[in-house]
Amino acid sequence: MISTCGITTLARRDVVALPRYAPDITPCVVDVSDNVNLWGAPPAALRALTTTAMSASRYPSVYAAPLRDAVLRYLGLSDGQGIDVVSACGSDDVLDATMRAFGEPGDEIVFAAPTFAMIPTFARLNGLVPVAVPMTPDYEVDPQQLVDRRAKITYLCSPNNPTSTALSRATVEYVVHHAAGLVVIDEAYAEFAPESFVDLVTKVERLVVIRTFSKAFGLAGLRVGYGVGSTDVVEPIIRARGPYKVNALAEAAAIAALGEGGDGIGWVTAHAALAVENRARLAAALRRLGFEPAPAAGNFLFVPVARAQVIAQAMCRGGVLVRALSGLPQDIPALAATGGNALRIGVGPWDAMERVLDAFVEALACA
């Protein structure tokens, strides 16, 4: 029998060295720290949960084929175009499986920083080397820097997390057409953005666009994400992610949320529009207070603020939870001015946004 006294010496050293994801989960009256749908979930999805619960004793569909078909209809794509869909336990799971499917140990994955914080973690878990290149001063991505790395995987995020900024089509198309390896476009916030790049999967084979049901669709607690691309790209990701990765309740709710009508996709679209409207109102209010949010395309604002941690703590004491960010790259002048500190503030119903603004003003007075 192996002694457990030194069990940590048996674990992979690079895994032991990884930090655990540890967001602030302090209970607050208004929580705008996770960019989820603060209006809730589509009524059709909630009904689907109650009717599907009786089948909880059975395994879900092996590779979520019904959800695959619903996603293709939603995106206006078809398998007749040589397009397929992989779904999984959140878009995180799709990203992880994609790196596992296409990256050999020692290969590089390149991305512009700051971006989704889990990318370096997933890279190291899969034996890849994460390579960050700076953003331009106006929150754009330098496509030439990305392409010049000749990386096995190039990661783009639009709208970007945490900055909420969208990439230009010219930038995306240049990277997609000139990158040496696979291009991954993370569109977790696509429903709030002025445009999507999912149409490119019919024109470029080495591309996968990844989305989630956690944001606009209000199903964060069910963990459903998907990736769409050519069959030749999606097939290895399906194999790498394994079977039964979307539970039956999650699949039923996601399909219902994509259904026609005012309680399904109509509800999603209407509330995404409300988020965009309130995003503009909140940004204008913050500008009147002397702050300059980054140009936003997601359902949240990125606000460079000095002493962000102190202000966030004061807001939390006032019943509002926002995400404080520190140690961010300072290639962007607005971040250089704040020492790499910023607040990320999710957008929801306007009464909640008024609470956010009140708590922010009170925190500024105390900071």
Look at residues 285, 289, 357 and name the one whose alpha carbon lies nearest to residue 320.
Answer: 357
**Average pLDDT in the 6-25 region?**
79
Asked if 32 and 351 touch (Cβ cutoff 8 Å), the reply is: no
What pLDDT sits at residue 225?
98
Selected from 3.40.640.10, 3.90.650.10, 3.90.700.10, 3.55.50.30, the CATH number assigned to the domain covering 43-257 reads 3.40.640.10
Q: Is 167 exposed, middle or buried (0-12, 13-18, 19+ CB in 10 A)?
A: buried
Q: Distance (Å, rounded) from C-alpha 159 to C-alpha 166?
A: 4
Q: How many residues does the chain have?
A: 367
- Per-chain mean pLDDT for the chain: 95
Q: How confident is the model at residue 2 (pLDDT cuts 50, 70, 90)?
A: low
Q: How many helices and strands in the chain, by DSSP H and E?
A: 13, 12
The answer, yes or no, to whether residue 93 has pLDDT greater than 80, is yes
Q: Per-residue b/e over 332-356, b at no fewer than 16 CB within 10 Å? A: bebbeebebbbbbbbbbeeebbebb
Local confidence band at 165 (pLDDT 50, 70, 90 cut-offs): very high
Kind and range of the H or E element at 317?
Answer: helix 308-317
Place of tokens 């390579």: 131
Amino acid at position 105, single letter: P
Distances (CA, A) of 107 to 31, 102, 165: 38, 9, 28
Whole-number Å distance between alpha carbons of 11 and 13: 6
Task: Using alpha carbons, select from 160, 183, 187, 243 the residue that is nearest to residue 74.
Answer: 187
- 80/281 Cα distance (integer angstroms): 43
Question: How far apart are alpha carbons 112 and 175 in whole angstroms?
Answer: 12
Predicted confidence band of residue 286 (pLDDT cuts 50, 70, 90): very high
- Angle at 253 (CA atoms; ends 61, 21), nearest 5 degrees: 90
Global model pTM greater than 0.75: yes
Instruction: Evaluate if residue 4 carries a pLDDT over 80.
Output: no
Please, are residues 144 and 188 in contact by the beta-carbon 8 Å criterion?
no
C-alpha 271/C-alpha 38 separation (Å) is 9
Look-up of token digits 């039956």: 248
Listing DSSP states for 282-308 in one string gives: HHHHHHHTT-------SSEEEEE-TTH
DSSP 80: G
Given a cut of 90, whether residue 210 has pLDDT beyond it is yes
CATH for 21-40+264-366, among 3.90.1150.10, 1.20.1090.10, 3.40.50.850, 1.10.569.10?
3.90.1150.10
Cα-Cα end-to-end distance for the chain: 57
What span, in angstroms and rounded, lies between the C-alpha atoms of 202 and 214?
25
Low-confidence winner among 55-59, 258-262, 286-290 (lowest mean pLDDT): 55-59
**How far is residue 65's CA from residue 243's CA, in Å, rounded to a whole number?**
11
What's the per-residue H, E or C state across 6-73? CHHHCCCHHHHCCCCCCCCCCCCCEECCCCCCCCCCCHHHHHHHHHHHHHCCCCCCCCCHHHHHHHHH
- Between CA 249 and CA 267 the distance in angstroms is 19
What ranges do the domains of the chain cover? 21-40+264-366, 43-257
pLDDT confidence band for 347 (50 / 70 / 90): very high
